Structure 1
């Protein structure tokens, strides 16, 4: 199976890199290394992280008990959200969009927050709309900038790890099945899909419909929790965890089978 980077190099969509190392560190290759893995930025990142940690700890000590009492009261939280008017759902949708674009952020906490703050139906709608907009933006960026935008968030190993999906003859069907399974790495797959010749609207349709099971389980559990129905919330969480475990196994099996087919082909 050909390397994604090699194919895109020949297409002229990315500058040449130093092939002697897995993660280029100098010259043009540095531009293709993921920014978040750049060693030169690590000291600054550590300082910022330390300052943020101290600020968070201080805030928790000062306001923790009051915030806990507020956020564990679903009715009070929902009333506060309603008081924000149309700004609240727009801000929540923007957070969903940002999570999909930044990609390194996990999506489940955002979906749980949407379900808790807005309830099942509105939270699901917000996640679906935000997911649609985020997917279209990611697809447009990848189709325009190619591997240059992918390298901002993912290493070479990560992109090569999903090359089997891009190279599959049944790309669209397999991508849809993979997106239906909770627990699969949907965000990197969205970026990988943008590297194919599949039209943007088909990618958006496949990924958004495929995200529905993951969104529904998260917002449903959080919605039950906000209503104080902890039994239903825990049961939904257990079912979701089981689906995630099964999804991880199924994803590994699908990837292994497609990689074996590519080797035989």
Structure 2
């Protein structure tokens, strides 16, 4: 008989599922960037601005709704809407819209998870994503304010809000971490869209440096997850 060699253990840090959120985030940014460049080339900056301005309050409301929905039901990456908000509304207005959408949507996710529990969250987001929520809820993020804030700044922030809601973390502990993460992580992505449309070199430099810093943070957190994961 031929002795069967034991299968090598899989390294948690190399599992593709743990890299999915980061790649989806970059994919969303890339799609939105290409879309904005294509629209600018077709219609021109002045015409595009005039069309957006003619919509009045409906343009910000539409982007708010799209971003809000993508967080509460995280089936598609919502980062593209941050880029679009900066490109279509400008940096300041776009940033306000995205920050408000993230604040309300993540708060709703936290309360839904806290009020109705895991079974309701599973029905809402599907079995495909509930394991990610479970993994995050088991990381004991509620014990470390800065770690909670750091995870809320990653591409997994929508799942993090659900996951923290399943823990014993209080709203008074979760909300400051949420606000801090939004203030830090949203400006670079919105600035990317605004810089592309307005031709602002400083905005583009700020956006690139900020996105690079967030990418490094995501990698560090994923490595920490791999180290802390049980054998």
Do both proteins adopt the same fold according to a TM-score greater than 0.5, normalized to the shorter chain? yes
Unaligned runs of 5+ in 2: 1-37
Counterpart for residue 24 of structure 2: none
- Is residue 192 of structure 1 aligned with residue 163 of structure 2? yes
Distance 1:66 1:128 in 2: 25
Q: 2:46 aligns with which of 65, 75, 88?
A: 75
Counterpart for residue 120 of structure 2: 149
Aligned length: 191
Bigger Cα Rg: 1
Secondary structure of the residue that 1:222 maps to in structure 2? helix
TM-score (norm 2): 0.71
Counterpart for residue 101 of structure 1: 72
Deviation of the 1:159 alpha carbon: 2.9
Distance 2:142 2:55 in 1: 48
Q: 2:187 aligns with which of 185, 200, 216?
A: 216
- Is residue 252 of structure 1 aligned with residue 222 of structure 2? yes
- Give 1:16-165 correspondences, 5 Å limit: 69-70=42-43, 73-151=44-122, 152-153=124-125, 154-165=128-139
TM-score (norm 1): 0.63
Deviation of the 1:68 alpha carbon: 5.5
Deviation of the 1:257 alpha carbon: 4.7
Consecutive aligned runs of 4 or more in structure 1 exceeding 3 Å deviation: 65-68, 154-157, 231-238, 256-260
Distance 1:91 1:66 in 2: 18
User: Are 1:164 and 1:255, in contact at CA under 8 Å, matched by a contact in 2?
Assistant: no
Distance 1:141 1:132 in 2: 14
Q: In 2 relative to 1, CA 78–202 (structure 1 residues): closer, same or farther, beyond 3 Å?
A: farther
Residues 80-105 of structure 1 show CA distances to partners (whole Å, capped at 9, x for unaligned) of 12111222222221222111101122
User: Are 1:74 and 1:226, in contact at CA under 8 Å, matched by a contact in 2?
Assistant: yes
When the two chains are superposed, the root-mean-square deviation of aligned CA atoms in Å is 2.7
User: Are 1:220 and 1:236, in contact at CA under 8 Å, matched by a contact in 2?
Assistant: yes
Bigger mean CA offset, 235-244 vs 115-124: 235-244
Distance 2:137 2:164 in 1: 10
